[in-house]
Amino acid sequence: MKSMMLTEAKRLEIQDSPIPDYNENEVLIRVKACGICGSDVHGYDGSSGRRIPPLIMGHEAAGVIEACGSGVKGFEKGDRVTFDSTVYCGDCSYCKKGQVNLCDNRMVLGVSCGDYRRNGAFAEFVAVPFHILYQLPNEFPFEHAAMIEAVSVAVHAVGRINFNPGDISLVVGTGMIGLLVIQAIKEAGCDQVIAVDMDEDRLSLAKELGATQTINSKKVEVVEAILEQTEGQGVEVSFEVAGISSTIQLAINSVRKGGSVVLVGNLASEVQFPLQSVVTREISLFGTCASAGEYPKCIELMASGVIKVDPLISAKDSLDEGPRWFERLYQREPGLMKVILQP
């Protein structure tokens, strides 16, 4: 089969690889679309330690079942499906509580680290356990299905908070996940959403997708602007979607006493942290990781048009062009967001 193999740091090659074996509880999927995730781009240069070559990356995907193992139930050849990026065991204490994203034996498709190697979906075929599969409606485009994983991350993050009438939310960072978080916040019933970024084009898109106000942090002192608009109190909830010290501090300093901060971004492994501000103002911090069963809800939200992904897809191209797109994304080419590869 055709595959895109990470052979060494910053080197992707289109290769002929063996079709994956699948066990009795797995299905073989003919991949129709696979998105390039930011975590793939971060791992492309070897710096994350989670994309150790050789590896077929790719975990945001959808396709058609080509074959089923003897123990597979509820699915058959020809079904249109997507799948969770997390391969969870189903047996540990976290899985039994529905917290599959915290599974003790968690693996992620398209990841190779010190503990495991699991090839992903930048290939014509991928094998996955049937318990992480989800059926797709017949009319649901495969390129949209390749966005479900990203949508589920946003929906899960927003689900960490219970909004009250009149709450104001702040989203720090309007990359792809940030733009999805904005839409998920509106769907959750919070009508006022402030978006912060340094990129005017992204802020314009944030406004189109539901932000009620935008702030360019290059032009305005953000915390002062937020305090001015909230009678000196701050917002009730902030979502930090970058994962670096400066934006985390901004998110914390922008909430009112007793407010909440949801940490979505995790670019930096360690950050500077305003401990006294959090403690003395009783700020609640929420971590959020991947998703935990939100796929069916996300499919419904996307199919109904409540969450829109078309504006976030910058390009759709063949797998053969994948190495070129990876390099362009790695170089942070302006205007590029999500690229969908079609094997």
d(CA 28, CA 23): 9
d(CA 34, CA 251): 32
Let me know whether 139 and 196 are in one domain.
no
Residue-wise pLDDT tens digits, 136-174: 999 999 999 999 999 999 999 999 999 999 999 999 999
Q: Which pLDDT does position 258 carry in this prediction?
A: 98
Let me know whether 198 and 73 are in one domain.
no
Let me know whether 31 and 134 are in one domain.
yes
Let me know whether 131 and 10 are in one domain.
yes
Let me know whether 178 and 240 are in one domain.
yes
Question: Does residue 338 lie within any of the structural domains?
Answer: yes
Whether 227 has a pLDDT exceeding 90, the answer reads yes
Question: Does residue 249 lie within any of the structural domains?
Answer: yes
Q: Which pLDDT does position 47 carry in this prediction?
A: 85
Residue-wise pLDDT tens digits, 254-285: 999 999 999 999 888 899 989 999 999 999 99
DSSP-derived pairing of the beta strands 284-287 and 213-216:
unpaired
Whether 98 has a pLDDT exceeding 90, the answer reads yes
Which of 186, 193, 148, 192 minimizes the C-alpha distance to 296?
Answer: 148
Whether 291 has a pLDDT exceeding 90, the answer reads yes
How many domains does the chain divide into?
Answer: 2
d(CA 302, CA 220): 34
Give CA angle at 245 (49, 290), nearest 5°: 50
- Split at pLDDT 50, 70, 90, the class of 292 is very high
What's 338's domain CATH number? 3.90.180.10
* Contact between residue 196 and residue 212 where contact means Cβ atoms under 8 Å apart: no
HSE-up of residue 126 (Cα within 13 Å, Cβ side):
34
C-alpha distances out from residue 38 to 21, 65, 167, Å: 28, 26, 30
Q: If residue 55 lies in a helix (H) or strand (E), which one and from where to where?
A: strand 55-56
What's 265's domain CATH number? 3.40.50.720
Let me know whether 164 and 128 are in one domain.
no
Predicted TM-score of the model (pTM): 0.96
* Contact between residue 343 and residue 123 where contact means Cβ atoms under 8 Å apart: yes
Let me know whether 102 and 194 are in one domain.
no
Question: Which residues, listed in sequence order, are joined to residue 4 by a DSSP beta bridge?
Answer: 14
Question: Does residue 295 lie within any of the structural domains?
Answer: no
Question: Does residue 294 lie within any of the structural domains?
Answer: no
Other Cβ atoms closer than 10 A to 306:
13
Residue-wise pLDDT tens digits, 50-73: 999 999 999 999 999 999 999 999
Q: Which pLDDT does position 48 carry in this prediction?
A: 85
Question: Does residue 293 lie within any of the structural domains?
Answer: no
Whether 290 has a pLDDT exceeding 90, the answer reads yes
Question: Does residue 302 lie within any of the structural domains?
Answer: no
Residue-wise pLDDT tens digits, 171-199: 999 999 999 999 999 999 999 999 999 99
Domain that holds residue 122: 2-147+309-342
Let me know whether 105 and 204 are in one domain.
no
Let me know whether 125 and 191 are in one domain.
no
Let me know whether 103 and 163 are in one domain.
no
Question: Does residue 320 lie within any of the structural domains?
Answer: yes
> Structure tokens of 55?
């590896």
d(CA 251, CA 245): 10
* Contact between residue 176 and residue 338 where contact means Cβ atoms under 8 Å apart: yes
> Structure tokens of 205?
């898109």
- Split at pLDDT 50, 70, 90, the class of 49 is confident
DSSP-derived pairing of the beta strands 26-35 and 125-129:
antiparallel
Let me know whether 23 and 93 are in one domain.
yes
Question: Which residues, listed in sequence order, are joined to residue 341 by a DSSP beta bridge?
Answer: 34, 317
Mean pLDDT taken over the chain = 97
Q: Where are the alpha helices (DSSP H) in 107-221?
A: 142-145, 148-158, 176-187, 200-208
What is the amino acid identity at position 154?
Answer: A
Q: Which pLDDT does position 183 carry in this prediction?
A: 98
Percent share of the chain, pLDDT over 70: 100
Let me know whether 122 and 182 are in one domain.
no
Question: Does residue 304 lie within any of the structural domains?
Answer: no
